[in-house]
Structure 1
Amino acid sequence: MNDDAEERADEPSRNISGGPDGGGEAVTAVDDGEPASRAEAVVDELGEMYWQKAYGGREGFECLVRTILSQNTSDKASQPAHNSLMSRYGSPASGAGEEGGDETDLAESLAAAAQDELAETISSAGLYNQKSETIIRLAGRVVEGYGGADGFDEFVKSGDPGDVRETLLEMKGVGPKTADCVLLFSGGRNGVFPVDTHVHRIARRMGLAPADADHEQVRRAIDAAVPGEKCGFGHTAMIQFGREYCTAREPACLDGPEACPLVEYCDQVGVDELSGEVVDPAEVVDS
């Protein structure tokens, strides 16, 4: 995704994954002395600015679906799609809650869904034909391989993290960021720092990763430099920082160093304060 696509007018001001609607539990900051790396210092500052949370506990398959819906769109667009999907396909079966009633298995429900009806249901998320096909295909695989959403949830939460990530990446339509979000928000795994467009941009602009690093290289650089227990809130807080300060086209530092609370940690790769020119950090390497 390019910067223009990323910074749409409908980008919400609040990152719901870190805000009050994003789940997770507040944790006491880890008092481990001086940060061992600049990346850890940045995450510590972000935690003080926004939130420090431990994530986990979401239903594994629902988390996977939610992350698929969020691909290439904003929270503002994907959240209503998720709500509509859950209302139509995740509501209790007829008679649920009564004696003999059964709860709806979300994976079974979606595996049996008509693609055109699911596409209509999630239309607010954009790319709804592609996403509906992906969700139905993934639902079928989860039913076949794990017996349904509950079995998949158990696998995500108790399986070896490396095995879980590898399995997720083998599923067509699931990339590294989606896999890492499932591990973080459902599995509650430490040492998982999903890299979205905000994290990818900020890490390279600040010099926390090579300027021409791809998403996977950024993930590895941050994982190696930030303690595992800080990665979850580091991810969600960095997204919020990207929305408020370090935007793609108009980072706060263009208004002067005092405008950015993290300027002392930043190499400003691709940002020219004098000319006001802002380019992707990779372009600095190529020039």
Structure 2
Amino acid sequence: MLSLKLYTLSFALITVILYTTAKKSLLNKDVQLDKLLIYSGWKNLNEVKCITYYSKAHYLENLITTPTPYKKSDQKVRYLTIYLGCTYAKVMKNVILIVKKLIQICKEKIEKGNDFINGRICTDELVNIIYLFIVPLATLMVNAMDTLDSLHNNPMSLQKYSYMIRPRLKKIENIFDYLNEQTVSHNNILTYLRTLNTINDFFQKINLGLNYDTEYYCEFVNSNTDSLWKQWKIEYKAIIDQNIKLVFYKYLASKIKDYINTVIIENYFQLGFKFDPITEETFLPLENEPLELELEFKAVGDMHSIPIQIETHQMF
């Protein structure tokens, strides 16, 4: 089994240069929470209309713009953690839908019998995406939720039950346990079909769990998860209409990688979370840390780094 450190250092955001040190913040929790919410990524989260907690609706804009009273910080942490869980659930549901579409494409090529080579390449590409993109994404989501939750005096992550979508994300982290049971042979078509079926069944169960987890807590702006798929199909048609040769599964693989990279930037780093690839830990902003940071990412096999500016806004 590949270790978390190995695939974290191998996926698209392989090089993360953070201008901080791995110290525990000395800020009071209410001050630390308000400092985190200054990061502009919070204002750009738009997939969730509101969350429901103990039968009461809570809106993100109110949580961002209202200063945190010292004795009310626990409540605010709980609301924000649930809101983040709802946001991550929608992202993962989008990812799962595309994975299922990719599975269908791979299976069709294999089952045709005369396109086994492309079916094999398609399956290998899918497994690669899971290892290097989807698993690290799930890991960062768990880290972000737990780190935010840790500001609560009674963190849910330390209680006996596992909160919100966390158990589903943790299960995705352990998908290696399922895939490693599959022996894939380039000379045996059935091994590829078994792998595709295993992946399909695995993510089908994850998706059902996400539906259950979000039914009570989350009110989404748009509950449909096929808008991304439709958008990519339109874009692909526009490309091939220009007589550009592009295999559809390769196009999809590229789009899902780009989508996950964007999610990690916008829904993790631009929310103020910091990741240390050596210790595999997530941190919150430190007391004397500048609010505007530049993070540098290097894609696998690409020598060009991409500077990303993390913006902030004035809250109060």
Q: Which structure carries more relative contact order (alpha carbon 8 Å, separation 6+)?
A: 2
* Common topology (TM > 0.5): no
Higher share in strand: 2
Please report the TM-score for the alignment, with normalisation by the length of structure 1: 0.30
Please report the TM-score for the alignment, with normalisation by the length of structure 2: 0.28
